[in-house]
């Protein structure tokens, strides 16, 4: 724990997480941006736009925002907040005659086409790029895998693989793709994809993806709960402002213990476990929706019981003005403390490496 923070909200050591981690009492919560950054930071154009930008500067501080600006330009988004994914998606859903699901699908197609574009002149992948362009409905996670992303420097482990090695029974994610399932399978585990708190409608979702009241997650067979939908089913995606609002409304409806959309293995777990929020931007709609959802569900499930302390991994704000930085830090501390969240100033990726090293030391000490 940081010695210069009397409130105890700023955390340096991760030792306090080791016992609950060993006992299955930790739930990683992984953003869509977490994997996108690892994929698209290879793109020189996007990377050059990120150079010298202070973290938490509202418009340019994440690769997802830079990608959103490119998408906004491609659909001729007319307003100045073209870094805001939820608002750009909202505009397209309103303007498009194809319907909301088609508008959501266009975002996934944009990500695919951008990735194909930056690999089209690479001799290793020319045939694969051409093949994907002939496919009318490619899957983003399949494109990523076939183009051998993410491409880590030799000696660096994939942070999703490290998370997959931990004794975790439940993973939450707001990613639209199955990157986490791929990482778990690579570690010889059998993940169970679950779509929860969403309206299934006529999406023809596989039965095994729907909440199973009899399923009991285990370390060898963990649950991967997709809160914001899966790319294969565009109608489930939470992308626009309306999507986020509808998600929260639907989530409130499903807090009834008898609701089939609220799986039994999650009841109590979200309040009794320590949550690790990875890769979220404080001002993003995905974070705001997720955090409101978590706060509501933990309050409902915990009743009079104490809620387990959790952690939000955040970059230390660097705004160029000392007074503004101090005020921003105090604001973040107050914001998270009210909800029993501790803060670690770090990148999500660095945090995962630190967590794995701490877990390895802890395991060695138990021998």
pLDDT tens, position by position, 162-221: 999 999 999 999 999 999 999 999 999 999 999 988 776 666 889 899 888 889 999 999
Run of H or E including 366:
helix 348-366
Say if residues 245 and 285 touch (Cβ distance below 8 Å).
no
Residue 89 has which token pair?
A: 């998606």
Cβ neighbors of 38 (< 8 A, separation 6 or more) are 149, 150, 152, 159, 349
HSE-CB for 130 with a 13 A CA cutoff: 7
The DSSP-derived string for 79-121 is: SS-TT-HHHHHHHHHHH-SS-HHHHHHHHHHHHHHHHHHTTTT
User: In whole angstroms, what separates CA 233 from the centre of its chain?
Assistant: 18
3-state helix, strand, coil split of the chain in percent (to 5) is 45, 10, 45
CB atoms within 10 A of CB 23: 10
- Record the tokens describing residue 88, joined without a space: 């750009």
Instruction: Indicate the burial class of 168 (C-beta count within 10 angstroms; 0-12, 13-18, 19 or more).
Output: buried
DSSP for residue 207: G
The pLDDT value given to residue 122: 94
For residue 142, what pLDDT is reported? 95
Per-residue pLDDT, 354: 93
As beta bridge partners, residue 274 has 26
Within 217-312, residue ranges assigned H as helices are 241-253, 269-272, 285-302
SS3 272: helix
What is the pLDDT at residue 365? 82
Do the Cβ atoms of 197 and 251 come closer than 8 Å?
yes
Mean pLDDT by runs of 10 across the 367 residues of the chain is: 47 84 95 94 78 51 87 94 94 86 91 95 95 93 96 90 97 97 98 86 82 91 96 93 93 75 84 91 89 84 66 65 66 78 86 95 82
pLDDT at 299: 75
pLDDT of 54 reads 52
DSSP-derived 3-state class of residue 314: strand
Token match 């978590």: residue? 294
pLDDT at 47: 75
Rounded Cα gap, residues 303 and 338, in angstroms: 16
């Amino acid at each position: 724990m940081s010695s210069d923070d009397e409130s105890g909200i700023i955390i340096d050591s991760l030792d306090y997480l080791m016992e609950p981690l060993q006992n299955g009492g930790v739930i990683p919560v992984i953003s869509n941006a977490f994997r996108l950054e690892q994929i698209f930071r290879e793109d020189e154009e996007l990377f050059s736009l990120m150079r010298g930008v202070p973290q938490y500067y509202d418009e340019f501080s994440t690769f997802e925002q830079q990608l959103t600006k490119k998408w906004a330009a491609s659909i001729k988004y007319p307003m100045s907040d073209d870094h805001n994914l939820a608002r750009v998606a909202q505009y397209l859903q309103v303007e498009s005659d194809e319907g909301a699901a088609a508008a959501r699908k266009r975002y996934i197609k944009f990500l695919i086409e951008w990735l194909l574009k930056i690999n089209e002149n690479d001799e290793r992948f020319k045939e694969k790029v051409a093949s994907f362009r002939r496919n009318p409905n490619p899957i983003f996670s399949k494109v990523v895998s076939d183009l051998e992303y993410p491409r880590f420097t030799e000696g660096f482990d994939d942070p999703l693989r490290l998370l997959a090695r931990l004794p975790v029974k439940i993973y939450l994610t707001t990613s639209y793709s199955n990157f986490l399932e791929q990482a778990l399978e690579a570690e010889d585990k059998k993940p169970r994809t679950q779509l929860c708190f969403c309206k299934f409608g006529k999406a023809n979702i596989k039965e095994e993806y729907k909440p199973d009241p009899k399923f009991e997650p285990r370390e060898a067979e963990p649950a991967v709960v997709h809160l914001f939908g899966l790319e294969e089913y565009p109608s489930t995606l939470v992308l626009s402002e309306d999507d986020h609002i509808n998600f929260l409304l639907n989530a409130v409806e499903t807090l009834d213990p008898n609701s089939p959309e609220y799986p039994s293995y999650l009841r109590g777990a979200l309040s009794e476990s320590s949550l690790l929020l990875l890769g979220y931007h404080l001002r993003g709609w995905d974070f705001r929706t997720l955090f409101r959802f978590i706060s509501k569900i933990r309050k409902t499930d915990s009743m009079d019981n104490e809620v387990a302390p959790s952690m939000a991994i955040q970059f230390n704000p660097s705004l160029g003005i000392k007074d503004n930085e101090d005020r921003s830090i105090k604001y973040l501390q107050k914001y998270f403390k009210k909800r029993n969240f501790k803060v670690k100033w770090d990148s999500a990726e660095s945090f995962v490496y630190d967590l794995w090293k701490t877990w390895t030391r802890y395991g060695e000490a138990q021998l």
